[in-house]
Structure 1
Amino acid sequence: MKYNQLGKSSLQISEVGFGCMSLGADDQANAVLIQEAISNGINFFDTADLYDHGNNEISLGKAIATAKREALVIATKVGNQWKADGSGWDWNPSKKYILASVEDSLRRLNTDYIDLYQLHGGTIQDPVDETIEAFEILVQQGKIRYYGISSIRPEVIREYVRKSNIVSVMMQYSLLDRRPEETSFPLLMENNIGVLARGTVAKGLLAGKAAAPYLNYSAKEVAQAAAGISTLSGENRPASQTALRYVLQQPAVTSAILGIRTAAHLSDAVAASAALPLMAAEVAQLNHILPVNKYEQFR
């Protein structure tokens, strides 16, 4: 497993991260899967207080209880507040809510500190200064080591780059979603901020799922992209791994966060890290399959 430094932090994280959102409700099964991931070199685990009403954090906490905490990088997210009746959630990036929520996440994760605490969204209308102040207080208190944001909005990303000490941005990126390349990737690389990529196989469309419209691309165009991935794949590098290698070979990307729910998912994720890298000519070939899409909103 390859490890990369996350932006300007001191965190060394596996290039394939374990996305815990896909985990089921069986804590014992989750523990077996997570411990196997650790054995295979995955050290970065991403969850959120939103997932399964906090139970996702609890399950992760139980799974890592016997592991060496200092060897793991635990990331979670905050900002979405469940309604009292559990029917949905409201966006709440306030200082008060963040300072209170971290206590709940620490308890559920059964840990004394969170390595990476991320704002789970954000709009340009948020009280950004107040939100940043909350994260800075938590760093000073030692409850979190670093903080970042999860956002695909260029205007929000620019604001946090300008005003805060974020070390990472989690965003969607794949051959079918190259929108971050226009402005976000250059800005983040210039400021030594790591990218945590999600959605690398575009809901499975780049890994064998039947073609369907995706973002601004038609089903026909999606099929063209999938065919391009397939052409460069084979027994030694299945389509899902080719799609992932494409993402990992983007210089701005520090780690790809994969949703892992089964032993087969884990095996594929580990194999992807060891898969043959794409040659420069292969990357260029994929880059020319479709016109690059760009963000149309929140620019």
Structure 2
Amino acid sequence: MIGFVGIGVIFVMVFGGYILAGGKLGIILKSLPFEMMMIGGAAVGAFLVGNDMDTVKHTLKDMGKVFKGPKWKHADYQDLLCLLFELIRLARQNPVAIEEHIEAPAESAIFSKYTKILSDREAIGLICDTMRSASMNYDDPHQVEEVLDKRMEANLHHSLHSSHALQTVADGLPALGIVAAVLGVIKTMGSIDQPPEVLGKMIGGALVGTFLGVFLAYGLVGPFANKVKSVVEEDAHFYHLIREVLIANLHNHATNICIEVGRQNTPSHNRPSFSDLEEALKAVKQDAA
């Protein structure tokens, strides 16, 4: 919602200020389709040239994050802690019983309680692969920690491709605006024999290209890239929480301590309170009983 508000504020303030200052929209509206065709078309073409199809699809999908915000909400972090509590508790009580859950999470009675988490392939992969490593009696938890760090770093790097691609487009838009403006000046010079009022409108139309390139870069595409990056980094905390809890488990801390480590490493605005989490864990124990 705030994304739509922000875009509205941009357009109202820029064009509202222009109109209140005595500017006329006629020249802008007349030139806009042609300038947008040159600048927008060139930007889209450069975007396609500079990225593979997977990145293109990923970027188009991620642009929705500007309006949707982070995928993982406050309740999801509490659900994740409850899920990890159940899994660690079962793994310590009955190491054999945990295998059916981590080998086939889609059929697991535990995972099926948390459908949103179950639908995320990366989260399930992190949980199952790490717990599988624990069941193989890794002697050095630091080795698993290193593997997890590299995996999460690679996943974050891949997830940030779309924001980098958008930022590259934003960086190029002012230059493309200058290209469109130069073409407008060339067109004007070809009509140098026209009266001043005609030349004035043609020069004004040419300058629309410069305006449009800068406006799109710093008013829309650049902020889109920054928002996508911030949302991706915000969602990465969810996977970081998985790492913290499971590494604590590999160090053989008590189950409640492992979960508390995860709670403490949850971002403050998504962190469940100690009492709320205790109530949720009590409910988990009662269901298991």
Scaled by the length of structure 2, the TM-score of the pair is 0.22
Q: Which has the higher contact order (CA 8 A, sep 6+)?
A: 2
Larger Rg: 2
| Structure having the larger proportion of residues in strand | 1
Scaled by the length of structure 1, the TM-score of the pair is 0.22
